Structures are given as C-alpha cells and as structure tokens.
C-alpha cells in the first residue's frame, strides 16, 4: 500500500470541529450550571440554619438549660447556653456564612437577636407566632414565588419548638410547601 492512503490520528479540520461542538455545548450548559450553583447555596444555607436550630433545641433538652440560637450576618449562626456554667458553655457550635453559601441573604421575621429553647425544647419566652427565616440569593435573581429563577426556601420555628424547612412557592397543601 502506498503511504498516502494510510492515515493515523486526526486532521486539523476534525479537531476544530470537535472543539467547536464542545464550545457550543458548554455555552448551552453554563447558565443552567450557574443557576444550579446559586440554588445549591440557598439549600445549603437553609439546611444549615435548620441544623443549627435543631442543635439548639436538642442541647436545651439534653442539658435542661436554656440554649439559644443566635443568627449572624448572612447564613452564619452560633448556638450556646444563655447562662454559662461548667455544664453549659457559651458556645456549643457555630457556623460561618461563607461555608458553601456566601451569596445567601437570610431575613428573620419577626426580627430577633436570638431564639432560645427551654429544657422542654420550646421557644422561650413563649411566642404566639412562628419565627420565619427566609433564605434568598440576590446574586442569582428573584424567587420563583416572584416569577424569578431561584428556588428560595424558608425555615419555620413554631412556638412549640417544631422546626421545618419549606418552599414558599408551593401551596400549603403540598408537604414541601409553606
């Protein structure tokens, strides 16, 4: 066989076509990946707040002391005892907001400096309304409830101490809805 008919490898044209196809597919996938990343930050922050509130409630029951959840800026928080003593430290656990959810914004309503749980796991002082933590991501856009692309979440604390995460864009008849 003559050498001109044997081909090994790929030609420059084939390589350029492959690079072009990869570029087109990447440009199509990039916006969806960005939105997924922004939504993941919301879910991480809401899950962290829920975990911190659950920790404060469990520690209050375990220690039979008043333990408080103190929200910080963004999605940061600290859990610690209200009355510090040898059996109950001032800081049991804390979370920095930049851990996986640095673009997230958390709004507490009604506004509170801390949420305390008594030895029975109930919110103290007794409140007649649910405490609501709305978790959004302004860098990603508005929430689905406001016709935007972000799946914003809410963490609710009932006066009895029940803590749940829900989606305000879903109806209240949906188990995931608020």
If one counts the domains in the chain, the total is 1
**Residue 5 confidence (pLDDT):** 67
Question: Domain containing 159: what range?
Answer: 12-166
In a domain, 1, yes or no: no
Confidence check: pLDDT of 7 > 80: no
In a domain, 176, yes or no: no
Beta pairing, strands 67-71 & 115-117: antiparallel
Q: List pLDDT tens digits, range 66-76.
A: 999 999 887 88
Let me know: does 75 contact 101? Beta carbons within 8 Å. yes
Percent of the chain scoring above 70 in pLDDT: 94
Confidence check: pLDDT of 55 > 90: yes
Average pLDDT of the segment spanning 30-41: 82
In a domain, 145, yes or no: yes
CA separation, residue 91 to residues 76, 157, 172 (Å) = 14, 21, 36
In a domain, 55, yes or no: yes
**Residue 139 confidence (pLDDT):** 77
CATH number of the domain that 138 lies in? 3.55.40.10
> What does the alpha-carbon distance between residue 108 and residue 116 come to, in Å, rounded to a whole number?
14
Confidence check: pLDDT of 50 > 90: yes
In a domain, 146, yes or no: yes
Contact partners, residue 115, CB within 8 Å, separation at least 6: 53, 56, 68, 69, 71, 123, 131, 157
């Amino acid at each position: 066989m003559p050498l001109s008919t044997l081909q090994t490898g790929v030609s420059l044209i084939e390589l350029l076509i492959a690079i072009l196809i990869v570029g087109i597919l990447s440009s199509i996938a990039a916006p969806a990946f960005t939105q997924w990343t922004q939504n993941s930050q919301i879910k991480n922050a809401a899950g962290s707040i829920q975990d911190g509130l659950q920790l404060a409630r469990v520690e209050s029951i375990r220690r039979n002391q008043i333990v408080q959840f103190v929200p910080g800026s963004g999605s940061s928080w600290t859990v610690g005892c209200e009355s510090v003593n040898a059996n109950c430290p001032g800081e049991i656990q804390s979370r920095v907001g930049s851990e996986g959810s640095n673009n997230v914004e958390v709004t507490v309503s009604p506004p509170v400096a801390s949420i305390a749980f008594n030895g029975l796991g109930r919110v103290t002082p007794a409140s007649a309304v649910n405490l609501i933590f709305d978790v959004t991501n302004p860098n990603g856009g508005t929430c689905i409830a406001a016709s935007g692309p972000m799946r914003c979440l809410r963490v609710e604390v009932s006066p009895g101490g029940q803590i749940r995460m829900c989606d305000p864009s879903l109806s209240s008849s949906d188990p995931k809805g608020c």
